[in-house]
Each structure stands twice: as structure tokens, then as C-alpha cells.
Amino acid sequence: MSKYAQAAIEAVELVYQGVTDSPVKAWDMATSKLFGKGSWGQKKGCPKNAFLGLCEDGFIEGIPKGIYNTRENSINKNYAIRAIELITEQPKLLEDIKELWNRASNGNGISHNHQMHIVKALYNKNYIKG
């Protein structure tokens, strides 16, 4: 499991445990712990925006819809949401992250940047609303 997948799980659990009610703070806490506060890994936007985008649109159990991203229409949020739609229809795609990414990104040819690891981890922990 990637560190960003771990961060997403830890962030959700911090909210569940009542440590914070903010997914933004929870993400910052989890990534600070895993990567070091202020580090490049902690600040990386693609996984953060994918996670917060899922929270924003109410895809995460126990986290209310809200405005959590700094960008209203993040491409990484859209990739994560599309991936959830795809695995809801075809759960076997979880076994092939490259193919899941290819479909979620409409075959744009760029490499995924941990967005799919976050989706997979949250889905496997049953943190994605069904």
C-alpha cells in the first residue's frame, strides 16, 4: 500500500475518531506523520486533491459534503470520482490499477499520481459510500 493510500485511510480514521471534523486537517495530520511536516510528499497536490474531492462530493462514509479543495473543479477529484464509478460497475478493475487509471483518465497517456491507490484503499476499507 502506498503512503498516500495509508494517509487517506488514516485521515478518514482521524475524522471517525473525533480527532478533527475537517478532512483537510485530517489529511494534513496524516501526511505530516507519514512524510514529515512541510515536506514535498506532504504537500503533493494530486493525491490530496483526489482525497479531498471524494470528501467534497460525499463519497466517504461519515464525512459530509462540503468545500474542502482549493480548486472548485479539480481534475484529480474528477479522476477519483470516475474511478469509483468504474469500480462500482466493474470491481475487477481494482486488480489492475493501470487499466483503472487508463479508463478514469480517458486514456490521456499521463501517469497516475497515487489517485488510484487512494481510491483502491478507501474502497477496500469500505469507506466509500455504496
DSSP letters along 22-67, please?
-HHHHHHHHHHHHH-TT-HHHH-HHHHHHHHHHHHTT-BTT-----
Q: What is the three-class DSSP state of 16? A: helix
Question: Cβ of 1: how many Cβ atoms within 10 Å?
Answer: 11
Contact status, residue 92 vs residue 116, Cβ threshold 8 Å = no
Q: What is the pLDDT of residue 72?
A: 74
Query: Rounded mean pLDDT of 55-77?
Result: 91
29-65 pLDDT, tens digit each:
999 999 999 999 999 999 999 999 999 999 999 999 9
| Average pLDDT across the chain, whole number | 95
Give the Å distances, CA to CA, from 3 to 64, 80, 116, 122, 124: 24, 17, 12, 13, 15
